[in-house]
Amino acid sequence: MLAKRLIPCLDVADGRVKKGVNFVNLTDVGDPVAIAAAYQEQGADELVFLDISATNEHRKTMADLVEQVSAQVFMPLTIGGGISSVADMQRLLKAGADKIAINSSAVAQPELIQAGAEKFGNQCIVVAIDAAWDAQSQQYRVYTHGGQQATALDAITWAKQAVALGAGELLVTSMDRDGTKVGFDLALYQQLGAAVSVPIIASGGAGQLTDFVDVFKQSPVDGALAASVFHYGELTIGQVKAVLRAKGVVVR
Amino acid sequence: MFAIVDYDTGNTRNLQKAFDYLQVPTQLTADPVQLAAADAVILPGVGAFAAAMQALTERQLVPVLQALGRNGKPMLGICLGMQLLFESSTEYGDHAGLGLLQGHVTDIPTNLGVKVPQMGWNENQFQQPASPFASIDHEYTYFVHSYYAVSPTDQIVASVQHGVTVPSIVQRQNVIGMQFHPEKSGQVGLAQLATFKEMVMANDFSSN
């Protein structure tokens, strides 16, 4: 039986992990290779590196980062942030990425999902969706550009469309919960799970051990992504897995 | 020197990095002389079965690999590379494989309550007590695939459950296959590659 996945997410700019990671005795808190190795040691099932740098020349360093991390750390690596062409995808996959996450560029040009899936296989293409509940229209609305721009898209409809175009996985962040540490948005993931059959990764809101239990027990997600609770050592991967295991959730 | 078969298939770079990490020198090559001279031949692969067989055929590698496998050259197929070692596959039609392992490749049923492709970490059950791959028992490895091998049980070294029993390591004498990605399965995956390396160095494939 497939294990549920725990996925730390790291923000990267100029080849360095930003905000730092201080859960272990890292001498260099921004070194992506050291951080990835430490997470591998903790038992993380996958890593997401998100490029938050603004310019194209900085993005070239992302391929170098992937090249270095994948020489030392042997786990699935997903790369996202500013990827807007098949050539961008190819460069990162060639450097050692396993999956490519696209967000704003998928909304701007949905055909990019199809082009990537046809060239590299559905399993390579992750569509990341930032969504927030819109009380007026009673639906989850899709946002782009790091949550700055509202679109007219309903998240559930967009998720179905992305999967139909070839997305092999969805990484869905609840903007309402992101950074709040009050738990994952279970209703969002329940609706998504009923709408699509590809793996869903939940993101946004993780604060306590029970939040992970709830998202796996009460919604059909395959993985849970978190940043600060792991980076700052508030929770370790091992702690979360021990609690999940005790509650009957299959983890590695 | 391990030769990694170069036939323009997906990402061989990560596999090379894993062998680098284990301090096993590798060479990416499609040259029959270099393949024959290597201590072992690694057959990688991602993508579709027919396209991969076509790429091997275009490089005239099918008879080369078949002869090497039948003449005792240690061979390791990984993911689609493992599937190519079997007799045939039903992926998009009916296509002949290399025929170095008994059995055929078919799609994972979608009506058994599992997601297809199988993508993620699954727990191995070790099936052959005499095999040196014992360290895989109850350990999780990373899989990404939609098709699986239907193999005689005596060829199955380890397996996982994904609606059906999916062989994760198969062996017939010098020909070995891994359905998971050892280069993406952490220390457990590296340990399986290290076991293969030891089998090659000892030239002992008698366990299966």
Per-residue pLDDT band at A21 (split at 50, 70, 90): confident
Does the annotation count A130 as an active-site position? Answer: yes
| CATH hierarchy code of domain B2-202 | 3.40.50.880
Q: pLDDT value at position A23? A: 67
Which is higher by pLDDT, A16 or B135? B135
Q: What is the DSSP string of A65-112?
A: HHHHHHHH--S-EEEESS--SHHHHHHHHHHT-SEEEESHHHHH-THH
Minimum mean pLDDT among A215-229, B24-38, B45-59, B150-164: which range? Answer: B45-59
Contacts of residue A122 in chain B, CB cutoff 8 Å? 117
Record: contact A74-B18, CB cut-off 8 A: yes
DSSP-derived 3-state class of residue B61: coil
Contacts of residue B162 in chain A, CB cutoff 8 Å? 1-2
Q: pLDDT value at position B65? A: 98
H or E segment and range at residue B33: helix B32-37
Number of H helices, E strands in chain A: 10, 11
Q: pLDDT value at position A25? A: 60
Averaged pLDDT, B74-99: 96
Record: contact A252-B140, CB cut-off 8 A: yes
Q: Are A153 and A141 in contact (CB under 8 A)?
A: yes
Averaged pLDDT, A206-221: 97
Q: pLDDT value at position A36? A: 95
Q: How far is A20 from chain B (nearest CA, A)?
A: 24
Q: pLDDT value at position B10? A: 65
DSSP-derived 3-state class of residue B92: coil
pLDDT tens-digit series, residues A162-183:
999 999 999 999 999 999 999 9
- Checking if the pLDDT of A235 tops 90, the result is yes
- Average pLDDT for chain A: 93
Half-sphere exposure of A249 (CA within 13 A, CB side): 25
Averaged pLDDT, A203-227: 97
Q: pLDDT value at position B12? A: 87
Sequence letter at residue A244: L
DSSP for residue A29:
T
User: For B187, which residue in chain A has the nearest alpha carbon?
Assistant: A74
Task: Look at residues A222, A211, A151 and name the one whose alpha carbon lies nearest to residue A186.
Answer: A211
Q: pLDDT value at position A186? A: 98
Q: pLDDT value at position A61? A: 87
pLDDT tens-digit series, residues A79-136:
999 999 999 999 999 899 999 999 999 999 999 999 999 888 898 999 999 999 999 9
Per-residue pLDDT band at B175 (split at 50, 70, 90): very high
Percentage of chain A lying above the pLDDT 90 cut: 83
ipTM of the complex: 0.92
- Checking if the pLDDT of B41 tops 70, the result is yes
Contacts of residue B14 in chain A, CB cutoff 8 Å? 70, 74, 96, 98
The pTM assigned to this predicted structure is: 0.94
Q: Encode B124-189 in three state secondary structure.
A: CEECCCCCHHHHHCCCEEEEEECEEEECCHHHEEEEEEECEEEEEEEEECCEEEECCCHHHCHHHH
Minimum mean pLDDT among A6-20, B63-77, B126-140: which range? Answer: A6-20
Residue spans per domain, chain B: 2-202
Q: pLDDT value at position A56? A: 63
Does the annotation count A11 as an active-site position? Answer: yes
pLDDT tens-digit series, residues A52-75:
886 666 677 899 999 999 999 999
Averaged pLDDT, A23-37: 81
Of B115, B142, B187, the CB nearest to A76: B142
